[in-house]
Amino acid sequence: MRSSFDDPLAKGPPRSPEASTRRGGELDLHLLPSLVVFDLDDTVWWPEMYMTAGSFHCEPPGSTRVVDRLGEELTIHPGARVAIEEMLNRPRWRRANAQIAFASRTDEPEWAMEAMRLLRVCTDPRGREVTLEDAVDHAEVYPVRSKTEQFHRLKEKSGVPFDEMLFFDNESRNVREVATLGVCCVFTPDGMTVENWREGLAKFEEHAANRGGDQESRGGARPGLRRDGSFGSLSAGKKGSGSGGRIFFRP
């Protein structure tokens, strides 16, 4: 899971109310989500696991092209790639110690974990290639009746309250159910786009401003990321409240 980048930016002083709030520049860190959660099938990647034949591998060997046993290619949606790259490499995200999670109800969790190990999403600040598995702090990937169950587990594992989470999913049912926990949710019906990412951040900023406060008024510092190379939390193939949240549907 999340690799150790040994980045001095992540070890800086706590965020302060005096941080710049200009748009397009460095936002107040308290206006960034503490945990960004992505669905996998047709949010992070395409095609969905049930549409593939499994047995993923790189073809040709050593390349970045991931295919199933029938040669069907698995690709990362542009918005998911941009979001994860920015969270791993942009200084303001690293100062914020924001965490990344995947929450998927796939019926093929082993295939999904195999895909996460192979799909390369970006490079780190030292130029090393980063896979989806390297990038994520927590993964809840298994069949479940409602994603709210996975979010309760993510809240427990990450230490992040629901109202400091931002969630992207291509299924309106998942978005509506998770929003009841107080999570800021973004509907991505066509797979995650860069526009979804930008609009989601803007929506979360509004969400954070509406709940009114700086980090101290919300109960202290957010948990730090593991930077010693150790894994976060991973659940595959097994099952693991708050006020109403905002649902953002792109028109």
Q: What one-letter code names the amino acid at 46? A: W
Tallying the residues shown for the chain, one arrives at 251
7 catalytically annotated: no
41 catalytically annotated: yes
Contacts (Cβ under 8 Å, ≥6 apart) of 82: 194, 197
- Catalytic, out of 7, 41, 134, 163: 41
- Catalytic, out of 7, 39, 134, 137: 39
| Preceding amide of 60 cis, omega within 30 | yes
Kind plus residue range of the DSSP H or E element containing 179 = helix 172-179
Measured CA to CA in angstroms, residue 13 lies from 4, 29, 169 at distances of 19, 12, 33
Instruction: Please tell me the distance from the alpha carbon of residue 24 to that of residue 3, in angstroms, as a whole number.
Output: 28
What's the gap between Cα 3 and its chain centre? 15
Instruction: Please tell me the distance from the alpha carbon of residue 19 to that of residue 135, in angstroms, as a whole number.
Output: 27
Instruction: Please tell me the distance from the alpha carbon of residue 27 to that of residue 204, in angstroms, as a whole number.
Output: 12
Residue recorded with tokens 């549409």:
51
Smallest CA-to-CA distance from 5 within 83, 88, 119 is with 88
Q: Which residues are catalytic?
A: 39, 41
